[in-house]
Amino acid sequence: MDDKSSKDKKQTDQPRAENAKQQQLDHFRIRDTGNPLTTKQNLKVSNDSETLKAGVRGPQLTEDFYFQEKMGHFNREEIPERVVHARGYGAYGEFECYQSMSHVTEAGFLQEAGKKTPTIVRFSTVQGPKGSYDTARDLRCKGVKFYTEEGNYDLTTIAMPVLIIQDPMKFPDVMHAYQNKQDEGIPTATGAHDRFWDFVASNPESIHMVTWIMSDRGVLRSYREMESWSINTYIFMNDQGKGTFVRFVWKPVDGVHSLLNDEALKIGGLDPDYHRRDLRLSIDLGYYPEYELGVQMLEMEDEFKFDFDILDPAKFWPEELIPVQKIGKLTLNRNVDNEFAELEQVAFNPANVVPGIGFSNDPVLQGRLFAYRDTQHHRLGSANHDELPVNRPLCPFHNNTRRGFMRHRIDVDQINYRNNSLAGNTPYVTPPEEGGYKEYPKRVEGHVIRGRSPSFNDFFTQPRIFWNSLTPVEKQHTIEAFSFQLGKVKTESVRQKNVDLLVNVDREMASIIADNIGVRRPSGDNVPVSTSYPSLSQANTPKYARMQKVGVLIGDGFNDQEVNDVLNELRRNQTVIRIISQTLGTVTGSGGTKLRVDETFLTSSPYLMDTLYVVGGTSKTQDRFNANIADYIRVAYTHYKPIGVASTGQSYIQPSPGNNLAGVVFANNNPNFARDFVAAITQQRFWDRT
């Protein structure tokens, strides 16, 4: 489905659509502004600055109940952070179904075209703690909670179509290896250390996902531009009891785009909240992030049709073999009001399903059905976490669970067991034909055993296909990432074991990495696979100027008409304009136009800008002004970003035998400069630049 038309209209003009979930949450939203300060029992506070003492220099009195309440609550404000996915952010949204999927599933929110379902979404990294940074090289996750009329449905996905393990028993091991060391508590938010790469070399199934992480996919540019897959295989069930294997994928309408490794590292220090800030800003501006939901479906009888096991979470389903059908669109259109209450307390669980969606025998999925709910019990302190406002379903629910920490419900019935006669055996069970949930009757055979299916044991064919599918630029970035991470590994034998593993994916790649990290080139050769799939590369992804951050480097004396025309064209194309100069205040054009300065060269950075508009001009500290502009241009140019040069900025960038100025657009003698500059911004990177 073509969504270009929806991107051409700025969405700030649209009123915020209220939905049933927001109306429910409004009952819990409290505004303190304009009200008197009180205790939790509504006792009005007369002094909030000093404790109660025996004389102004005397000891504090134990009867100071207000201090005890205030400090006691503060001491308990933090809860255990997630053991993985601790660092994250999100927003509310709405999912709209494109077409009825009743032929394959009973799920109510997929029954008719145009049906809308409220959602909340949380994006996250995996390795780092809550206080780490957004742009770390990592796999990223996306949890979507659909507040359907049948109850909550949670769809969890990650930004790669494969997982690092094939059995849930190994999840604690990979995370122990990935996260920081016990003795020193470092490093933070990186796998560039001995323990992780020792795990990779010792567990060859992990090399597939690791290759994806070392590709551009591992350094996401924005949550708005994140493609993500369910990894696990689920089952759709229709009202006739027919089952269909299914995997889900979210396709961002803005396309899939990445940072460079150097940018990701620099931005992590300059703005640890880079992805959070970008997501919140886009919604505040009305440029709502959009993602189309795709499904890959497979008939039950085709389970063994392919040369990979469809239940193996470390294998992707090639879109060229199992096409993606887009069935709806998610639009994020409301920021949260309270990050803790709404995003820290939101609890996702793949076991939260609705009729028509079930589970395959995918081993990691089976493990996740336990792990997610168990970790929420620990993190949120109670089995009653489903009653928190953000987790509460829209529809009423009835069962016989009782008590527990922080119970919100007041169940007035005295009969809380089945079977019973005193309450007519209610709450009653609902037959499947009347809407009761039913499991798909999967065939199960074999002996009780701890083991792995031999069909999972091809560790290198799909990583080789992924490598074959990358462009030369993407391959170079992947080699650089491997070289950077393995170059941090101190143990030579671990470095050697990894290149000996990588040779199975590509001999040339492994040899280059070996040279870069000071170990012996591996013997052997890559698996003899020449297959490639265009869907695995980011090269053909959609591109827009929307939300690209344009740094306008400007001083006094600019050409009023020229600059205003360009700024208006940038606004029409929904870019984010940041006026950057030597000092805060205003800059004044030759005709008297004044522009407010958003940031200085000191408070901003070329790494935080997607493109530069070099206007130049005069400044009280001209030499420093010129040097700052030169530094911004150097960084933007070496990172292949588009650069627009105003007629007054021509002196800052000149052609030479060493550069071809690809992606640099000049205003001099160019009546179409504004349009050409926007076209360059849309292109985003110029990999042919020298």
Task: Provide the CATH number for the domain around residue 510.
Answer: 1.20.1370.20
Work out the average pLDDT over 123-149: 96
In this structure, are 510 and 556 located in the same domain?
no
Q: Can you read off the two tokens belonging to residue 42?
A: 């509504």
Token output for 324: 């993606």
Q: What's the pLDDT score for residue 9?
A: 38
pLDDT tens digits for 374-418?
A: 999 999 999 999 999 999 999 999 999 999 998 999 999 999 999
Does the pTM exceed 0.85? yes
Q: What percent of the chain has pLDDT over 70?
A: 97
Mean pLDDT of 562-585: 98
Question: Angle 507-517/472-487 helices, nearest 10 degrees?
Answer: 40
| pLDDT value of residue 162 | 98
Task: Assess whether pLDDT exceeds 70 at residue 14.
Answer: no
Q: How far apart are CA 621 and CA 624, in angstroms?
A: 6
Rounded Cα–Cα distance for residues 431 and 10 (Å) = 48
CATH number at residue 60: 4.10.91.20
Asked if pLDDT for residue 8 goes beyond 70, the answer is no
**Alpha-carbon distance 192 to 200, whole Å?**
12
Query: Looking at this protein, which amino acid is placed at residue 394?
Result: L
Domain identity same for 361 and 341: yes
| 59 lies in the same domain as 125 | no
Residue pair 40/69 in contact (Cβ under 8 Å)? The answer is: yes
- What pLDDT, in 10s, does the model give residues 420-476? 999 999 999 999 989 899 999 988 888 999 999 999 999 999 999 999 999 999 999
If asked whether residues 274 and 139 sit together in one domain, one would say: yes
Q: Are 136 and 189 in contact (CB under 8 A)?
A: yes
504, 536, 568 - which closes a domain: 536
User: How many C-beta atoms surround the C-beta of residue 331 within 10 A?
Assistant: 20
- pLDDT of 76 strictly over 80: yes
CATH number for the domain that contains residue 584: 3.40.50.880
Least confident window among 5-14, 236-245, 479-488, 581-590: 5-14
Strand ranges inside 414-463, DSSP E: none
Confidence (pLDDT) at 445:
85
Residue whose entry in the numeric block shows the structure tokens 């040899």? 511
501 and 593 in a common domain? no
CA distances from 247 to 1, 324, 375, 639 (A): 19, 9, 24, 36
User: Of 330, 355, 387, which residue constitutes the final position of a domain?
Assistant: 387
Whole-number Å distance between alpha carbons of 115 and 95: 8
Relative to beta strand 116-125, strand 611-616 is unpaired
DSSP letter at 394?
A: S
- Torsion sign, CA atoms 474, 480, 482, 485: negative
Q: How many residues does the chain have?
A: 690
**Identity of the amino acid at 668:** N
Between CA 433 and CA 448 the distance in angstroms is: 33
Quick check: 15 pLDDT over 50? no
Residue identified by tokens 């034998």 is 493
Between 16-30, 196-210, 335-349, the lowest mean confidence (pLDDT) is in 16-30
pLDDT > 90 in the chain, percent: 94
pLDDT digits (tens, 9 = 90+) for 262-273: 999 999 999 999
Quickly list DSSP for 170-230: GHHHHHHHHS--TTT----S---SHHHHHHHHH-GGGHHHHHHHHSGGGSBS-GGG--EE-
- Looking at the structure, do residues 605 and 476 belong to the same domain, yes or no? no
- Count: domains in the chain: 4
* Confidence category of residue 3, pLDDT binned at 50, 70, 90: very low
- The 8 Å CB, 24+ separation contacts for 447-455 are 452/166, 452/167, 453/309, 453/311, 453/312, 455/308, 455/309, 455/312
Give pLDDT tens digits for 220-259: 999 999 999 999 999 999 999 999 999 999 999 999 999 9
Shared domain check, 110 and 45: no
Q: Which of 536, 570, 588 is the endpoint of a domain?
A: 536
How far, in Å, CA of 663 to CA of 207, rounded?
Answer: 36
Whether residue 188 is contained in a domain is answered as no
- State the DSSP H helix or E strand holding residue 622, giving kind and residue range, or none if neither: helix 622-638
Least Cα distance to 104 among 290, 357, 363 occurs for 357
Q: Which long-range CB contacts under 8 A does 168-171 form with residues at least 24 apart?
A: 168/363, 168/364, 168/366, 168/367, 168/368, 168/371, 169/367, 170/203, 171/364, 171/367, 171/371
pLDDT at 443: 85
Would you give the DSSP letter of residue 382? S
- 172 inside domain: no
517-572, pLDDT tens digit by residue? Answer: 999 999 999 999 999 999 999 999 999 999 999 999 999 999 999 999 999 999 99
556 and 531, same domain (yes or no): no
End-to-end alpha-carbon separation of the chain, Å? 37
Give the angle 266-162-199 at the CA atoms, nearest 5°: 70
pLDDT at 231: 95
Same domain for 56 and 97?
no
pLDDT at res. 7: 42
Alpha-helical regions (H) of 55-206? 65-75, 171-178, 194-202
Among positive and negative, which fits the CA dihedral 299, 301, 302, 303? positive
**Cα dist from 337 to 25, 133, 142, 330, 355, whole Å:** 11, 22, 20, 20, 32
- Flag whether 404 is in a domain: no
Q: What is the mean pLDDT of the chain?
A: 95
In a domain, 19, yes or no: no
Task: Compute the average pLDDT of residues 148-169.
Answer: 97
Beta bridge partners of 158: 141, 229
* Per-residue model confidence (pLDDT) at position 658: 85
Q: What is the CATH number of the domain that holds 227?
A: 2.40.180.10
Q: What is the average per-residue pLDDT within 629-652?
A: 97
Answer whether residue 182 is part of any domain: no
Residues 530 and 645 in one domain: no
Residues 607 and 489 in one domain: no
Inside any domain, residue 333: yes
- Residue range 153-161: mean pLDDT, rounded: 98
Is the pLDDT at 644 greater than 50? The verdict is yes
Predicted pLDDT at 330 = 98
Give domain status of residue 452, yes or no: no
Q: Give the residue numbers spanning the domain of 292.
A: 88-162+218-387
Residue 9 included in any domain: no
CA distances from 376 to 127, 296, 361 (A): 18, 30, 23
Both 65 and 95 in one domain: the answer is no
Residue 656's pLDDT is what? 85
What are the CA-CA distances from residue 301 to residues 216, 238, 240 (Å)? 36, 16, 17
